[in-house]
Amino acid sequence: MTTATATSGDAGDDPRNSPPRVHSILDLVGNTPLLDVTGIASGLSPRVRLYAKLEGLNPGGSVKDRAALWMMRRGIESGALRDGKTVLDSTSGNTGIALAMIGAALGFPVSLVLPENVSIERKRIITAFGANVIFSSGLEGSDGAILLCREILQKDPDRYFKPDQYFNPNNPQAHFESTGPEIWEATDGRVTHFVAGIGTGGTIMGTGRYLKSMNPDVQVVAAEPDDALHGLEGLKHMASSIVPGIYHEDELDRKIPVPTDNAYELCYRMGEKLGLVVGQSSGAALFAGLQVARDIDEGTIVMVFPDFGDRYLSTNLWHGWVDYAKKRQSR
């Protein structure tokens, strides 16, 4: 549904060296690679491997491209999304970018409700795709955006198509049909643990279901902020949040609380050690993955890295780099 097929081109006689030819930017969603990041850790069993699924290589720059594409395509198929409708949803940023990109590619106007304190990079990317942005209170986080979006929809329900990423079953279905099979194939079925952060819950629910359908012994592990007042943009502390309808905690094998500062420091270390600059939710996934890795003697751990760090350069994540650099120099 979302992957491009490579065809012979001008890059030589071997078609494997040829870039894919696609008809739409949407054909590039999915088929992201796994990167071996085991070297970031020390003291692990030599039979443990850590892999990061680099979702920042999707055309919209994040894992949310998958869910947004599935929700909008299914909306078109059902007739709920049609000419004259405007796509409306609440988002902390990445889903908004994905919806804005897909709306532009498919010819639908998009309006998005965002907390006013999301990064300036995210705001600018969304508007670059031509979407309309409506800001909610930054103090209320993603929950405030959800509530304001509901108010807007209630005033003129016939005008909008709301993908409703927090309650739309096509969100986890996207990962059941794409992310899960990609991980299974890339690891030759050897994956033993799957780690992802919790935002809407779509990634961990859908991918986890697929992997368990292939091997019930695969452990599904959630990386969750350790406090309601956290700095891990895009992730939810479920005990203090509106719980998404697609999220079912009983399907998890384990939840690992992630301190904001630890996730940030791992982001900095990955930039230095791996040449990989990622967002804070990737640091959270690595923190949880390392906890799992230290608890086992053998296994293949796959973590979702939802995006890269370039869309957070103006945020507290990279402001914290100054203090980290000072500590590093004093060692």
Alpha carbon 290 to chain centroid distance?
Answer: 19
| Two structure tokens written together for 175 | 């990962």
Yes or no: say if 283 and 315 are a contact pair by the CB < 8 Å rule. no
Residues in contact with 139: Cβ distance below 8 Å, sequence separation at least 6, in sequence order: none
Active site residues: 64, 281
299 forms beta bridges with 48
Helix axes 316-330, 260-274, angle to 10 degrees: 70
- Give me the torsion for CA of 258, 69, 139, 260, rounded to 10°: 20
Retrieve residue 236's tokens: 């939810």
DSSP structure class, residue 298: S
Q: Which helix (H) or strand (E) holds 304?
A: strand 299-305
- Return all residues near 313 (Cβ < 8 A) that are at least 6 apart: 119, 121
Q: Are 27 and 4 in contact (CB under 8 A)?
A: yes
Beta-carbon count within 10 A of 78 CB: 10
- The Cα–Cα gap between 121 and 96 comes to 12
Per-residue exposure over 8-36, b if at least 16 CB sit within 10 Å of its own CB, e if not: eeeeeeeeeeeeeeeeeebbbbbebebee
Per-residue H/E/C for 257-274: EECHHHHHHHHHHHHHHH
301 DSSP β-pair partners: 50, 193
